[in-house]
Amino acid sequence: MQSLFSLIDNFFQYVFGHPDSLIFFVPLLLLSFIVVNRFGVIPNKFQTFVEVIFEFLESQFKPLFKEEAHYKKWMPFFLTIFSYILILNMVGLIPRLTAPTSDIWLTGSMAIMIFLISFFLGIKHNGPIKYFILLTPSGIPTVIRVMMFPIEIISMFAKPFSLAVRLYANMFAGHTIVRTILGLTEIFHSKLILPVDLLFVVILLGFEVFVALIQAFIFAYLSAIYIADSLYMGDH
């Protein structure tokens, strides 16, 4: 518990010490208003592209929820997470800028947010006692359920850790590789390697765009799974 409080404290120290990590909230909000206001009955190319992404996300998230009301309530939240992480991932493609998602404190704070939401949501829908009872599978002997309980607790706290590290590691590794390849010209003290250098960078940047999309989707999708599991714990 002390380590959790320490993590939260370090996050707030990071945020107030690095206000640039929050500067993308405002452009995202303004972009959302601009995009929505320009949508019409007859879609343009950009609107068609956005609608294709939305339909794909809807087809992935909707089956996780057994009730239509739950899906409609939480879908805007998951779309916001996807859009925000995608924009932060794309920032790393701009020269001299680093993707905020390549910092473990930012990804860790978002993972903790998802964990706390799913945790308190599970307690709200099931009650505190029933919530912890439902962590272990039903229909097995009580002795085995008692033995499995510590494992389930560890697994529960491991979810935000894996969620944070997965996003951080992928974004950090990708940007590190691009910077390393760009630095080969200075390492070998030769401009002859520059054309090959640039070719590899272009290829890697294209791959980085793909990774940015995939990682934003994975984070949002796993968040949806954790929240849906908290809502339907009694149905497992």
How high is the pLDDT of residue 27? 65
pTM of the model: 0.78
Long-range contacts of residues 222-227, Cβ cutoff 8 Å, at least 24 apart: 222/114, 222/163, 223/78, 223/81, 223/114, 223/163, 224/61, 224/64, 224/74, 224/78, 225/64, 226/114, 226/115, 226/118, 226/159, 227/74, 227/114, 227/117, 227/118, 227/121
Q: What is the pLDDT of residues 168-187, one digit of tens each?
A: 988 888 777 777 766 665 56
Which amino acid type is present at position 130?
K
How high is the pLDDT of residue 2? 44
Mean local confidence (pLDDT), 30-45: 69
Long-range contacts of residues 57-63, Cβ cutoff 8 Å, at least 24 apart: 57/82, 57/217, 57/220, 60/217, 60/221, 61/220, 61/221, 61/224
Cα–Cα distance measured from residue 216 to residue 86, given in angstroms and rounded to the nearest whole number: 5
Q: What is the pLDDT of residues 196-228, one digit of tens each?
A: 667 777 777 788 888 889 999 999 999 999 999
Q: What is the pLDDT of residues 97-125, one digit of tens each?
A: 778 888 888 888 899 999 999 999 988 88
Residue 60 has pLDDT above 80, yes or no: yes
Residue 4 has pLDDT above 60, yes or no: no
